[in-house]
Structure 1
Amino acid sequence: MDFFPDPPPPREEEPDESYQPVWSNAPGDVLPGVVPVELLIARSRSTVVMLTGIRAFPEGLAMNLAIRVRGPLERRDLHSEVFDGPYHHGTGEQWQAERLKWGFEFADGRRATNVDPPAWDGEDERPWKDRTWRPDRPVLTGQGGGGSQRAIDRDFWLWPLPPPGRLRVVFQWPQQGIATTTHDLDAQPFLDAAARSQPVWGAE
């Protein structure tokens, strides 16, 4: 008699764990076109925020948000502030008003920010069952990264590609002395870079 129980019978339809919706993150099997963005988004006496290394894919833009601080973060943890938790402090109205917020505005007026409600509520299986499903608005999704108590780098994914015209970057972090700042970029270099992207495996 085996000590361990028999495994459960396989489900009739196993999920495709390799599939990730195109709106949720950058594809791993595409060589992106790169745009050498070196943007100092915002700076206060204690904090510097930079946007670098934008990689353009057919469905969106991947980028790195770099944050550097000096001095105390008012007893808060930089890692949790940049990576959306876990928080060891209250998350009431005052913190909501003063927290790190940033995002993009497309030329057609559509916006995507890091504090938008989730594009998918977690109960609907369509994003993984129906590969044609798409959110009805742009999405800015935080990805991986890391750092220390004074320097954090985090990747973000912006879906979809912006339309031609102005691409506005907006950032604010009142808790770190940064009021709302805006920078206007031209979307065309990103669209050109996306056209240069290519599958890493080539044609089968």
Structure 2
Amino acid sequence: MNFFPPDPEMPDAEDEASGPTQPPWWAPPEDELPALLAATEIIATTAHIAVALIGVGVYREGVEFRLERRLRRNGLTNKEWNEWTSTFMENWSPASSPADRMRFGLVLGDGERVFADYTFAGGTDPHVEPAGHTLARRGGAGGGGSGVFAAQDSLWLWPAPPEGPIELVMQWPEFGIDERRIFLDGSAIRALASQARPLWD
């Protein structure tokens, strides 16, 4: 009698290839090339922090808002710099309050408000298709050195927004950034959706 149980049977390649796909409200499609809206705007700045919109990727069924944030040392001591970079990279600490975290939201052209956190924005079960729009925040690469740190984020809005202006709202109380807003042309974004292209036939 063997001590170790037998290994489970591995699914064959055909079964793996036909496995479940990522729901479209989670993230931009992986097989599509977006049309790009050349929209760049500073959302917020302080003596140490800058947050900016650096572009918008428009897919057939959703929109990705691309963001960049930077932290500059600007006279901070070594101890302060280490604490600030940890907070900037959103490493949890006992001193942090959830109410002080960085948050994003949108107001769509029809007045609907959607909010983004790292948790699923559409409800309690991320596998159940939501009834309205959702906004999923996705973190990207980040890092830096002794003088500047940078990080990238994206916000995935699904499905495509209605006609009218889009208001992007953010706050980061932990760094002294209260509610800041910029406005985008939702109609121009919708017009670009038809220019998104599949990567493969």
For the residues of structure 1 that align with 2:112 and 2:177, how far apart are their CA atoms? 24
Partner of 1:75: 83
Matches within 5 A, 1:17-96: 17=19, 19-71=21-73, 72=80, 75-76=83-84, 77-78=86-87, 80-81=89-90, 87-91=92-96, 95-96=97-98
* Aligned-partner Cα distance in 1 for 2:81–2:62: 33
Distance 1:31 1:115, change over 3 A: closer
Which region of structure 1 is more displaced relative to structure 2, 113-122 or 62-71?
113-122
2-structure distance, mates of 1:87, 1:121: 23
The normalised TM-score by structure 2 is: 0.78
Across the two proteins, how many residue pairs are aligned to each other?
Answer: 185
Q: How far, CA to CA, are the matches of 1:73 and 1:89 in structure 2?
A: 18
**Which whole-Å deviations, capped at 9, do the CAs of 1:9-41 have from their partners, x for residues lacking one?**
468xx6854511011100011111110110111
Is 2:89–2:151's contact at 8 Å kept on the other side of the alignment?
no
Residues 76-127 of structure 1: per-residue CA shift (max 9 Å, x gap): 514542xxxx513245xxx2332211111101121222238632435x7xx2
Tell me, yes or no, if the aligned pair for 2:133 and 2:159 is still in contact at 8 Å: yes
Structure 1 unaligned segments of length 5 or more: list them: 128-132
Letter matched to residue 106 of structure 1: L
Does the residue aligned with 1:185 lie in a helix, a strand or coil?
A: strand
Distance 1:90 1:136, change over 3 A: farther
Matched, 1:121 2:113: no
Distance 1:53 1:184, change over 3 A: closer
Name the residue aligned to 1:181.
180
Q: What is the identity, as a one-letter code, of the residue corresponding to 1:161?
A: A
Q: TM-score, normalised by structure 1?
A: 0.77
Q: Could you tell me which residue of structure 2 aligns to residue 137 of structure 1?
A: 132
Contact 1:80-1:87 at 8 Å conserved across structures: no
Structure 2: any 5+ residue segments left out of the alignment? Answer: 74-79
2:200 corresponds to 1:201: yes
Question: Which residue of structure 1 aligns with residue 77 of structure 2?
Answer: none
Partner of 1:130: none
What CA distance in whole angstroms lies between the structure 2 residues aligned with 1:73 and 1:110?
Answer: 39
In 1: Cα distance, 2:72 partner to 2:170 partner: 19
Give me the CA root mean square deviation: 2.8
Deviation at 1:173, TM superposition (A): 1.3
